[in-house]
Structure 1
Amino acid sequence: MPRGQAPAFWYGAQPVPRWARSLVPLYRLLRLIDHARYALGLRRIQRLPVPVIVIGNLGVGGSGKTPLTLALIESLHAAGWHPGVVSRGYGGMQRTPHLLAAADTAARVGDEPLLLQRRGQVPVAVGARRADAARLLLARGVDVILSDDGLQHRALGRDIEVCVIDGVRRFGNGRLLPAGPLREPATRLAGVDFVVCNGGAAQPGEVPMSLQAGTPYALAAGAAAPPPGAEVHAIAGIGDPARFFATLRALGYRVHEHAFADHHAYVAADFAFDDGALPLLMTEKDAVKCVAFARRHWWALPVRAQLPPGFVIALLQRLAAVTVLSLPRVSQPR
C-alpha cells in the first residue's frame, strides 16, 4: 500500500487496531470543542453576499467531488450564473488568499484547484481561510461560489450542502477517524441538501452519479492515443487508485498498475519504471503535476460526471430560492 493511502482496516474485514480505537474519543472531543466555539460565539461564521454551495464528503479520500464540481460549473453556466470556486488548496504551499493565475502550479495552489480552473474555465481562489479567499472571487463578477471539499469547514457560511459518497466503498467500517475513514458520523447526512452517490447502487434519497471516460489526450506532443486493448502503464495518485485502474480495464486496456498517495507531488524519478516501450495513462488530477516533465507517450484520461436532469433542476431551484431569501448577509454566530 502506498504511503498516504487508506489503512486496510478502514475498508476491509481486518480488526481495527487498539491504538486506532483508543484515539477516537480524542477526535470526538476535538470536534465538540470546535462546535462549541461557534455555538458560544467565540468564532463567527462568515457570510458572503452571494450564495455558497459546499461540495464535500464525510470521509477521507476521493469520492468524486472534482468531477461533480465541474458538472455543476457547466450546469450553472448554462443557467446564466457566473460561478467561481474556493478551495483550501490542499497539497499546495499557498496559505494566504490567492486568486489563481495562468502561471500557477499545483505545487503552489494544489492539484484540484488547478484542474478546476483549467477544465472549468472559472475563477478559482485558494487559502487557509476560505472566506477571505472567496472574497477575491467577488471582484471577478462571480455570483455563486462553489466551495470544494468544505463540508467540515464551518467558518464559511453556506446555503446549499452537497455530500458525495463513494458508492462502492460507502463509509467503510463506519467508524470515525482514525479507526475508520469518517470525519463526521453518517448521521450528518440528514442535515445536507443533496446526497450524491458516485458509482455503486444509490440508496433511497440519494442522487445517482456515474463517471463517463472521454478520449485520452497527450500531455506533450506525441503519437495517437493508445487504443483500447493496448498494454499500458497507469499511474494514479488519487483517493482510490483502484477506481481509475478499473475504469481503464473496463475500456479494454491491459494495465500495469502504479498507485501513489493522494495528492502525491510527482518528480521525474517516480517514473523510473517507464522505459518508453508502453504508453502511460494517468488521471487529469495527476496530469496537472506532470506536464513540466511529460514525455511524448504520456496521456491523461478525462472523465465527465453523468447526473440525472432532475437533480440539476432541483439544485437550481434551491439556488434561486436561497438567493431571494438570504440577502443581505452579515457575519453571524451559528
Structure 2
Amino acid sequence: MNRRLEDFMLAAWSRRGGLSTLLLPLSRLYGLLSARRLRAGARAAWRAPVPVVVVGNILVGGTGKTPVTIAVCQALQARGWRPGIVSRGYGAAVGPRPRLSDEGAAAARLGDEPALIHAATGAPVAVHPRRALAAAALLAAHPDVDVLIADDGLQHTALARDLEIIVQDGRGTGNGRLLPAGPLREPPERLARADWLVTHLAAGEPAPPAASAVPALLNSRASPASPAGAARAPRAVVMRLEPEGATHLASGRDLPWDAWRAEQGAAPCSAAAGIGRPERFFAMLRAAGVVLARTLRVPDHQAIPAEALRGLPPGPILITPKDAVKCAAPHDPRLWAVRAAPAFSDPGWLDALDQALRAVAARAGAGGE
C-alpha cells in the first residue's frame, strides 16, 4: 500500500464515518471467513516440543512487533533461555521449504524483519508462511533451542502457542471494526485472550484507553500461565523507544547516542524510514533533540531508493536498523542507522514472562513423566 492511500485509510479507520459504514458488509464477510480460517488452523495445530511465545497484533500496519520480539528474545537470553525465532519471511520468496539463518541471513533471503531480529539477537531464525514448518526445521537444526518466539504469528493458529503478546499502538483498536471497514484483523475482544498487551507509543503520544485500563470485557479470561480457574485481564505495558546509538553504514563506526550527538552538534539532519509508522521514528529523533530539515517516508518493507536519498539536503541522514538491512545505498557516507532501546512502563513484565515460561515448561515436563 502506498503512503498516500495508507494515510487515507488510516484516517477513515479512525472513526465510524460514511466510508467505513459503506464497507460494513465486506467487513462482516471478512469476519466470517477469517473466523473459519482461524478455527480450521487451531483444530489442526502442531504443538512444538518446547514452549511457544507468539508476538502479534490485531491492528493492521506497523505497531512495533519487531522491537518487542527483539526485547523478549534478549530478555530470555539474559535469563538463561536459548530462544529460536520463527517468522513468515515477508518480502522474501521463501519457496516450499523453510529458510534458516544458518544458510544466510540477508534481508533478501529471510525478509527484512527476520534479518534484523537475527542481527540484533544472534538467535537462530527460520522463515516460512507455514510457521509450523519453520518451527520444525529450526528445532531439527538447533536441538538446543528451548523456547520458540513466533514473530507476527497471532493469526497463524496452525502453530499452537503457550503465551501471547499482542502489540498495539496509539490507535488502540481504531473504530473497532474489522477490515475493510476498520483496521482490525480480529474483533477487539480478541485482546482478552492475550497474556500481555504492549502499547507502543511515540514520544509525547498519549496512551489510548486500552493501554492504561483494559476494558471490562477483557476481565473474564484465564491465562495459560495462571493457576487453574484463575481469570485476569492481559497485563498492560506501555513501550516507548529511545535512541541508544548510531552506526555509520559506510564505515561500520558505531557510537553511543550521546557521543553521536556531541560529534554532530546541532546541525540539521534528514531522516528516512520505510517502516509501518515512520512518524514514530521522526518523533523519537525530535524528542532526542535532533533538528530534522527533511523527512522521507517509504512504504513498509521497501528499500529506500538511492535517488530519493540524493534528493535530501547535505548533512547526516538517519534511518532505522530495519531500513539499514535492506538499504539500496549502504555506501552513502551520510547514512547513520539509529539503534533504539525500548523503555517499558512496567519493566517487571519480562520477569513475569520468564516465570510463566518456566511454569509452562514444568507442566510439560510433568506431563511427560
Normalization by structure 1: what TM-score? 0.89
- Give 1 or 2: higher helix fraction: 2
Say which is worse superposed, 320-329 or 57-66, in terms of deviation. Answer: 320-329
Residue 27 of structure 1 is matched in structure 2 by 30
Superposed CA deviations along residues 155-200 of structure 1, whole A, max 9, x for unmatched, are 001010011121x222222211111111011101111111112224
Q: Is the Cα–Cα contact under 8 Å of residues 249 and 330 in structure 2 kept in the other structure?
A: no
Structure 2 residue aligned with 1:147: 150
Paired AA for residue 203 in structure 1: S
Q: Which of 189, 192, 198 is matched with 2:191 structurally? A: 189
- What amino acid maps onto 2:355 in structure 1? Q
Equivalent pair of 2:31/2:186 in contact (CA under 8 Å):
no
Q: Is 1:57 aligned with 2:24?
A: no
User: Structure 2 vs 1, CA of residues 251 and 38 (structure 1 numbering), >3 Å: closer, same or farther?
Assistant: closer
Query: In the TM superposition, what is the alpha-carbon distance from 1:306 to its structure 2 partner?
Result: 2.1
The whole-number CA distance in structure 2 between the counterparts of 1:29 and 1:155 is 18
What does 1:76-155 align with in structure 2 at a 5 Å threshold? 76-95=76-95, 96-101=97-102, 103-138=104-139, 139-140=141-142, 141-155=144-158
Deviates more, 1:76-85 or 1:13-22: 13-22
Shift of residue 14, structure 1, vs aligned partner: 5.8
Moved over 6 A (4+): none
Aligned CA distance change for structure 1 residues 65 and 81 (closer, same or farther; 3 Å): same
Of 251-260 and 156-165, deviating more is 251-260
| Change over 3 Å in CA distance of 1:290–1:325 after alignment to 2 | same
- Give identity over the alignment, percent: 44
Aligned length: 325
- The 3 A distance-change label for structure 1 pair 132 and 176 is same
Which position in structure 2 is the counterpart of 1:274? 312
* CA positional deviation for 1:269: 3.1
Deviation digits for residues 278-331 of structure 1 (CA, Å, limit 9, x no counterpart): 21111111111116643111011111112333211211111011112135999x
8 Å CA contact 2:45–2:159 kept in 1: the answer is yes
Tell me, yes or no, if the aligned pair for 2:55 and 2:152 is still in contact at 8 Å: yes
Equivalent position SS for 1:324: helix
Query: In terms of mean alpha carbon deviation, does 65-74 or 12-21 score higher?
Result: 12-21
Distance 1:26 1:12 in 2: 20
Secondary structure of 1:11's aligned partner: coil
Q: Given that residues 126 and 135 in structure 2 are in contact (C-alpha distance below 8 angstroms), is that contact kept between their aligned partners in structure 1?
A: yes
Q: Which moved more, 1:220-229 or 1:311-320?
A: 220-229
Q: Counterpart amino acid of 2:156?
A: H
* CA-based RMSD: 2.5
- Aligned runs of 1:208-223 on 2, under 5 Å? 208-221=238-251
- Structure 2 distance, partners of 1:176, 1:20, is 10
Listed as ranges, the gaps of 5+ residues in structure 2 are 214-234
Structure 1 residue runs of 5 or longer lacking an equivalent are none
Query: Paired residue for 2:230?
Result: none
